[in-house]
Amino acid sequence: MFALLFVQLIKLTIVQGAAFAAASVKLDKGVITVPGARGSILDRNGLPLAYDQKSFNVQFYKDPKKTSAEDRAYYTAIITKTIEIIERNGGKTIDTFAIKYNGDTGEYYFDWGDIKEEQQKAREKNWRSNMFVGDTRTPEQIYLYLRDKYRIPSETDYEEARKILSVWQEVQLASWTAYNPVVVAYGVNIQTVAEIMTRGNELTGMGVAESTTRIYPRGQLAANVLGYMSRIPSSLSADQMKALKNKGYTNDSLIGVEGI
C-alpha cells in the first residue's frame, strides 16, 4: 500500500517536472510539448510484437537567461552531483559527446560512427557550427576549450568530464527549443527518482519525467517489418533542426528510421 502511494506521489510531484519548470520563469512565455505514448503492434493472434513500457528519465532544464561564467560553473556542479546520484543508484547517464580520447595514443578525435567520409565531414561541420567552436580548432583544442567554458574543475578526469560535456552538448544543441529540457539519463530506477525529488532544492534545473521504453518481447522477430527508432542526430544543421521543431519535435525525440 505504501509503495503504491509513494509511486503516486512521485507522479503528482515530479512527473514532467523538468518540462514544466520552464513555465515558472518569470515574464517569459513558451509552449511545452509533452509527447504521447506510441501504440502497440500486435500479430494476427493479438500477441504484442512491440509496445511501450512506462519509465522515468532524469531531465535538465537550464534557464536561458543564465549565461555568465558563474552560472555555467553553478550548473556544472549540479550536473556533477546528479551524475553521482544516478550512477550510485545503478544508472547510466547519456554518452553523446562527439569528441573521444584514445588513452593508448593520447589522441583526441571526432567519432560519428560507421558512416561515409563525406557524411562525417558534414556532421563535423554542423556540429562545429552548432557548438560555436569555429573551423580551425583541433578536437583536443575544442575539448580543452569546452572544459574551460563550462568550468569543469581541473582535477576532473576525461571520463567524468565527458559525461558532463555530454549534457552541456545536448543543452547547446537544443538551444533552439529553449523551453524544453534535455535528458541526462534514461530509464532510471525508483531510488534515483526519490533521491532527485528529495534533493530538488540543491539540484536546480533537474527533474524527473515519465517516459516510455519501447519493448520488443520477441527480439528480432519481424525486425525487417517493425524497423527501429532513433534519436534525432545531434549533427543536423540549424535549418534542419528548425524544420523538425516546427513539426513539434525536440532534441530528444525518437523518430522512425525503418519499418512501421
What confidence tier does 235 reach under pLDDT thresholds 50, 70, 90?
A: low
239 or 65: which leads in pLDDT: 65
Quote the pTM value: 0.73
220: cell is 528480432
Q: What is the pLDDT of residue 175?
A: 83
Q: What is the pLDDT of residue 28?
A: 45
Q: What is the pLDDT of residue 187?
A: 93
pLDDT in tens, 133-183: 999 999 999 999 999 999 999 999 999 999 999 999 999 998 877 678 999
Q: What is the pLDDT of residue 254?
A: 61
Residue 104's domain spans which residues? 2-258
pLDDT in tens, 43-55: 666 667 676 768 8
CA 145 to chain centre: 22
Span 215-243, average pLDDT: 63
pLDDT in tens, 179-200: 789 999 999 999 999 999 999 9
What is the sign, positive or negative, of the torsion defined by CA atoms of 15, 18, 19, 22?
positive
- CB of 126 closer than 8 Å to CB of 237: yes
What confidence tier does 29 reach under pLDDT thresholds 50, 70, 90?
A: very low
Question: What integer best gives the mean pLDDT of the chain?
Answer: 81
Q: Tell me how many domains the chain contains.
A: 1
pLDDT in tens, 80-121: 999 999 999 999 999 999 999 999 999 999 999 888 999 999
71 or 15: which leads in pLDDT: 71
Residue 253 has pLDDT above 80, yes or no: no
- Give, rounded to a whole angstrom, the gap between the first and last alpha carbons of the chain: 40
109: cell is 578525435
Span 57-79, average pLDDT: 96
Residue 31 has pLDDT above 70, yes or no: no
Q: In terms of DSSP bridges, do strands 99-102 and 107-110 run parallel, antiparallel, or are they unpaired? A: antiparallel
Rounded percentage of the chain residues whose pLDDT exceeds 70: 64
Q: What is the pLDDT of residue 225?
A: 62
What is the three-state SS of 93-151? CCCCCCEEEECCCCEEEECCCCCCHHHHHHHHHHHHHHHCCCCCCCHHHHHHHHHHHCC
Residue 227 has pLDDT above 70, yes or no: no
